[in-house]
Amino acid sequence: MHRRLGVKQICIGVNKMDCDTAGYKQTRYDEIGNEMKSMLVKVGWKKDFVEKNTPVMPISGWMGDNLLKKSENMTWWKGFDVEVGSEKIHVDTIYDVLDKMCRVPERPVSAPMRMPISGIYKIKGVGDVLAGRVEQGVVKPGEEVVFLPTHTVSNPCTGKVFTVEMHHSRVDFANPGDNVGLNIKGLDKNNMPRSGDVMVYKKDSTLGQTREFTAQIQILDIPNEIKVGYSPIGFVRCGRAACRVSKLTWKMGKDRV
């Protein structure tokens, strides 16, 4: 699940090392740790990343072992050397992982601007205000924009960013991760943007439309089964669309992990 959410830094915590079954023994830690690493590889993580960049920490949440300071009950635990970029970092505790290993991901500021629209509002005295979260690039006033897939050559859906507001204050620009409201001028009342549209700059031609895509999904609950011909509603950010399964390339269940 975490990989589907875009998580790229992980740590495995082998908890309850204090219980009677584990007894702070390295053999039990190795057994669980190896099983977890094997599972990560099977669900799509690269083996080299799992071996070199994923610390497996023996811990006890109840007793506090290896949370803030190195445990005295597991003298066999020598820590883990993690490769983070060009650095090699040694971690002994969960605190070390959070403080030394985890890095804030770089925001894609220089990428082409993409902003999914989550809401369209008509504000008295202001005009059309579109709300959304900037996924990449920078949103600035004065730029001409289009809204896909509502916009087509024969039926344009375009406008111009007049103001950018964040937390009820006007700002000069918005970066990736910012939730903003945009006052857009020049919208065609007969072909307005819709929730789920992606706003891009009019001068940007890098984003197109597609009729098919390949997805890796995790099933949490389903009444029957997924097979060729199954027609679910697909949700991506603020948008949704009916789709149809045309091919199953592989599947994995609890009996195959």
Q: How far is Cα 71 from Cα 192, in angstroms, rounded to an integer?
A: 61
- Compare 194 and 251 and report the one with higher pLDDT: 194
Domain end among 178, 201, 224 = 201
What is the pairing mode between strands 87-91 and 80-84? Answer: antiparallel
CATH code where residue 82 lies: 3.40.50.300
- The answer to whether position 232 is within a domain reads no
Share of the chain above pLDDT 70, in %: 96
The band of 3, judged by pLDDT with boundaries at 50, 70 and 90, is low
47 domain-assigned: yes
Q: What is the pLDDT of residue 207?
A: 86
CA distances from 118 to 38, 130, 240 (A): 39, 8, 11
Asked if residue 166 is part of any domain, the answer here is yes
Pair 17, 90 in one domain: yes
DSSP annotation string for 75-123: TT---EEEEETTEEEEE-SHHHIIIII--PPPP-TTSPPBEEEEEEEEE
95 in any annotated domain = yes
Q: How far apart are CA 208 and CA 220, in angstroms?
A: 31
- In this model, does residue 256 exceed pLDDT 60? no
Element (H, E) at 48: helix 47-53
CATH number, domain at 151? 2.40.30.10
Q: Given this model, what pLDDT does residue 34 score?
A: 94
Residue 29 scores a pLDDT above 90: yes
User: Does any domain span residue 226?
Assistant: no
Q: What is the pLDDT of residues 174-205, one digit of tens each?
A: 999 999 999 999 999 999 999 999 999 999 98
- For residue range 81-121, what is the model confidence (pLDDT) as tens digits? 998 878 899 999 999 999 999 888 888 999 999 999 999 99
Please indicate, yes or no, if residue 217 is contained in any of the structural domains. Answer: no
Give the mean model confidence (pLDDT) for residues 25-46. Answer: 91
My answer on whether 127 and 189 are in the same domain is yes
Burial of 91 (C-beta count, 10 Å sphere; 0-12/13-18/19+): buried
CB 137 within 8 A of CB 207: no
Judgement on whether residues 141 and 61 belong to the same structural domain of the protein: no
In a shared domain, residues 121 and 188: yes
Say which amino acid occupies 152: T
Answer yes or no: is 91 within a domain: yes
Looking at the structure, tell me whether residues 80 and 127 fall in a common domain: no
- Among 101, 135, 160, residue at a domain's last position: 101
Question: Using alpha carbons only, what angle is made at residue 124 by residues 121 and 130, rounded to the nearest 5 degrees?
Answer: 25
Is residue 256 a part of any domain in this protein? Answer: no
Residue 88 sits in which domain range?
A: 2-101
* 130 and 191 housed in the same domain: yes
User: How many domains is the chain built from?
Assistant: 2
